[in-house]
Structure 1
Amino acid sequence: MTRIGRRWLAAFGLALMTAACASGDPSDGGGRASPVIRRPALESEFTPVELEVAIDDLVAEINKKPSEPMQTAVLLKAVTGFFAPMAKGATRAMGELDVTGNVLGSLEPTGDQQLDMEIQNQQLEQVLLDGAEAIGITPFGDANAAAIDAAVAKGVHVVTLDNDLATSKRSIHVGTLGRSAGATAGETLLATLPPAPGTVVIHGNTDPTWLDGTDRTRGAREVLEAAGYRTVVVQATWGDGSEAEDVEGIKEQIEDEDPPAVGLLGLFDIAFRCAMAAEAAGKPDLPIVAFDFHPMTVDYMRQGRIKATHIQRQYYQGYLVPYILYGIKNLGLDATRGVLAPRMVDDSRFNLGLDVVPADKIDAYSDFLDIIDAKQ
């Protein structure tokens, strides 16, 4: 067995999903005779009504005639942590659609992005051999483009979620768009800052190979600089030893900046490191705004150290993708884009938007995640 094969068996597994084959009446050529029925939307102040409407509109079009069965796969970077709600959403949608397929993702990330990309490409090849007709994927980077394009060349539509890969031939991307997400986070932080001048330390991304991270960082900087603040970016890192490295890097900027640091903005799931750095610098009262719902971020919000966070609606990312793939299968790509048009920013990107959660709403948002069973 190859090194990649051994790592695949060790690190990747099913996310509790093997849906039954779609039922149908032989007289209609194998199409599904019964309509698609969704789980009713749950009532909460955080329910994204505009997304629920988009899915309902798509289902209404699909249900106008018997639909064809579909075999699919959703390939996630992981099925734990940040990606767990995506796995939950995709699993639920595939069950509602009664399609055949699996949700696959890492149980123990290798920490080696190049190896992870190779494993994911091998996964993609395997699900095609197993008969997948439509695929959702959270790509690692450009090295996934050739595998996606090979799937498209075989007539298989591919929808990306979380990270986009616009250089590939994917049909649609579903996600929180980087630049607008960063701008929203910048606006949230602005409301907590003293009047300019001052420096805002951003725990963001300057690596041009990660376009979504760079766009999010750019969006935040544009908003803050337009309001008269100076910004400085500390590169976010993951992996062994990264926490100490990031905390020290942010701490140094807090201590050294001129004009002085007046606020911190963390743009990824490790945003809680901003609070750790502020404490280490002896300035625990600096306003901090974060991203995502990491347990440590939640703890700092309960302490009043992080003022707000921004959630990328991972559950809805996972939930939408099987519905979009099913729509493409039964309505065609152009018709599916047409139904989704109110949320499309161009002909290939569906803007999922963000949940902005202030610290005093943390319990209400936690209850919402419990209701949809989407805790990470």
Structure 2
Amino acid sequence: MRMIRRCWLTAFGLTLMAAGCGTSEPAGPGENATRIERAPVPDNEFTPVELEATIDDLVAEINENSVEPMQMTVMLKTLSTFFAPIATGANRAMGELGVTGNVVGPLEQTGDQQKSMELQNEQIEQALMDGIEGIGISPFGEANAAAVDAAVAQGVHVVTLDSDVATSKRSIYVGTINSSAGVTAGETLLAMLPPAPGTVVIHGSTDPTWIDGLERTQGAQRVIEAAGYQVLVRPVTWTDEGEADDVESMKTNIETADPPVVGLIGLFNVAYRCAMAAEAAGEPDLPVVTFDFDPKTVGYMREGRVRATHIQRQYYEGYLVPYILYGIKTLGLDATREILAPQMVDETRFNLGLDVVPGDKVDDYNDFLDSIGSNQ
């Protein structure tokens, strides 16, 4: 037990606490609980109205029941960069619910995925020893499935976010549905392209062991090829040193493709490399669309070199998970799924959707993120 705890504190070093900060209080026998009150969301063109309505419906139903104390934890791959808004959302939701909860994760990823998986499994084991009643987790892969199933076997509901372990007994996945996200990105680029024929370079993934990346890439590829264009996929290189390789490979594609390259799509957070490749090939005006809101991507958007990007609503990813875990405890899994139905694509997957941000809306989108406290 001490060894597990030491690993947790060393590898997952920072814990953000959110306990008893909400407006709800445990009710005594026969008493009505204080109503849960959500933090107001400013009206903005990027506010996800339908998603907000679903959250309000869930809160309203929870408010019809007596509030019960609950312990939960949300485990993230890291607490920085892409995951920082997720941590913000999760802490805010736990504060509103008044539960005893925390958000845990390392300040930075180690780069050793196998070690990260093992440590996350130890983290789950420790949570069970500590009496946690609900777990939200951004898993590293199928190697987390057995630990998730062990939690479920002890009566602890598990909700995955950002990435999934579909083979496990987790209750619900919350996040991007990658195949449809790829289609959306393809459609965004298609609106900017000259008529076919032409070639489109996709900075994506062909790795069959990374299902999320492969499905997103295949979704974009399908919609672009259906419109009559050829596709060249450059598999992303996940190292800083790999940036030069990615850029050089896509530069060569631009210089040699027949028919000529007419646009590029980057499907992950290093998508700005597409703009770098276009510049290196002497074609800085080629249409480029990207994913996520990396500072380098934002810089290229301001320069007009990235025409649009796709944001995965990380804040809402984190914000929804505690409410779903609490809904499952107080209402039951089936009732919670019924309330979430407008965004459920099947029995277990909740689609957060995407924000499509045009290049000339960078400041407006930053204002929206600031308004909900989730800027990276």
Q: TM-score, normalised by structure 2?
A: 0.96
Q: How far apart, CA to CA, are the structure 1 residues paired with 2:5 and 2:171?
A: 29
CA–CA distance in 1 between the matches of 2:242 and 2:2? 30
Q: Report SS of the residue matched to 1:271.
A: coil
Match in the other structure for 2:247: 247
Matched residue, 1:113: 113
Structure-1 residue corresponding to 2:330: 330
Counterpart for residue 27 of structure 1? 29
Q: Map 1:52-131 to 2 at 5 A.
A: 52-131=52-131
Alignment correspondent of 2:38: 38
Q: Offset of 1:65 from its aligned partner? A: 1.9
For 1:319, the equivalent position in structure 2 comes to 319
| Counterpart position of 1:287 | 287
- SS across alignment from 2:17: coil
Distance 1:263 1:92, change over 3 A: same
Q: Deviations over 1:270-312 (max 9, x none)?
A: 1001111111112111110000000000000000000000000
Aligned partner of residue 328 in structure 1, secondary structure: helix
**Residues 286 and 15 (structure 1), Cα distance of their counterparts in 2 relative to 1, 3 Å cut:** farther
Cα deviation, residue 5, structure 1 = 7.4
In structure 1, what residue type is equivalent to 2:28? P
Query: Equivalent residues in 2 for 1:135-214 (5 A)?
Result: 135-214=135-214
Cα distance in 2 between the residues matched to 1:206 and 1:94: 38
1:47 Cα deviation (Å)?
0.4
Looking at structure 2, the residues matched to 114 and 250 of structure 1 have their Cα atoms a distance apart, in angstroms, of 30
Q: In the aligned structure 2, how far is the partner of 1:262 from the partner of 1:358? A: 19
8 Å Cα contact 2:79/2:106 also seen in 1: yes
Q: Is the 8 A contact 2:90 2:103 kept in 1?
A: yes
Question: Is 1:49 matched up with 2:49?
Answer: yes
For 1:289-346, what per-residue CA distance to the aligned partner results, in whole angstroms no more than 9, with x for missing partners?
0000000000000000000000000000000000000000000000000111111111
Separation in structure 2 between the aligned mates of residue 51 and residue 221 of structure 1, nearest angstrom? 28
Structure 2 stretches lacking a partner, 5+ long: none
Aligned partner of 1:59: which letter?
A: V
Kept after mapping to 1: 8 A contact 2:203/2:267: yes
How many residues of Structure 1 are paired with residues of Structure 2 in the alignment? 374
Measured in 1, the distance between the counterparts of 2:98 and 2:267 equals 37
Report the equivalent of 1:353.
353
Residue 165 of structure 1: SS of its match in structure 2? coil
Quick one: which amino acid aligns to residue 198 of structure 1?
Answer: G
Q: Which amino acid aligns with 1:116?
A: S
In structure 2, distance between residues paired with 1:43 and 1:81: 26
Q: Which residue pairs with 2:310 in the alignment?
A: 310
Mapped to 2, the partners of 1:19 and 1:286 lie a distance apart of: 50
Which secondary structure does the structure 1 equivalent of 2:76 belong to? strand
Q: Which amino acid aligns with 2:169?
A: K
Q: Cα deviations across residues 108-130 of structure 1 (Å, max 9, x unaligned)? A: 21111111111111111111111
**How many Å separate the matches in 2 of 1:14 and 1:2?**
18
Q: CA deviation at 1:350?
A: 0.6
CA contact (8 A) 2:27 2:67 kept: no
Secondary structure of the structure 2 residue equivalent to 1:155: coil
Distance 1:5 1:133 in 2: 18
Tell me, yes or no, if the aligned pair for 2:65 and 2:330 is still in contact at 8 Å.
no
Shift of 1:234: 0.6
- Tell me how far apart the structure 2 counterparts of residues 7 and 127 of structure 1 sit (CA, whole Å): 13
**1:13 paired residue number:** 13
CA offset at residue 10 of structure 1? 3.9
Contact 1:14–1:102 (CA under 8 A) maintained in structure 2: no
Q: What per-residue deviation string (whole Å, max 9, x for no partner) do you get for residues 229-266 of structure 1?
A: 00111111212412122212222222221111110000
Match of 1:233 in 2: 233
Quote the offset at 1:7 in angstroms: 6.4
Aligned with 1:16: secondary structure?
strand
* 1:59-108 Cα deviation digits (max 9, x unpaired): 11111121221100000111100010000000100000000011011202
The verdict on how the C-alpha distance between 1:330 and 1:277 changes in structure 2, with shifts beyond 3 A counting, is same
Rounded to whole Å, the distance in 2 between the matches of 1:293 and 1:369 is: 11
SS where residue 77 of structure 2 aligns? strand
Moved over 6 A (4+): 1-7
Could you tell which deviates more after superposition, 134-143 or 123-132? 123-132
Alpha-carbon distance in 1 for matches of 2:221, 2:32: 50
Superposition RMSD in Å = 1.8
CA contact (8 A) 1:311 1:354 kept: yes
SS of the aligned residue for 1:202 comes to: strand
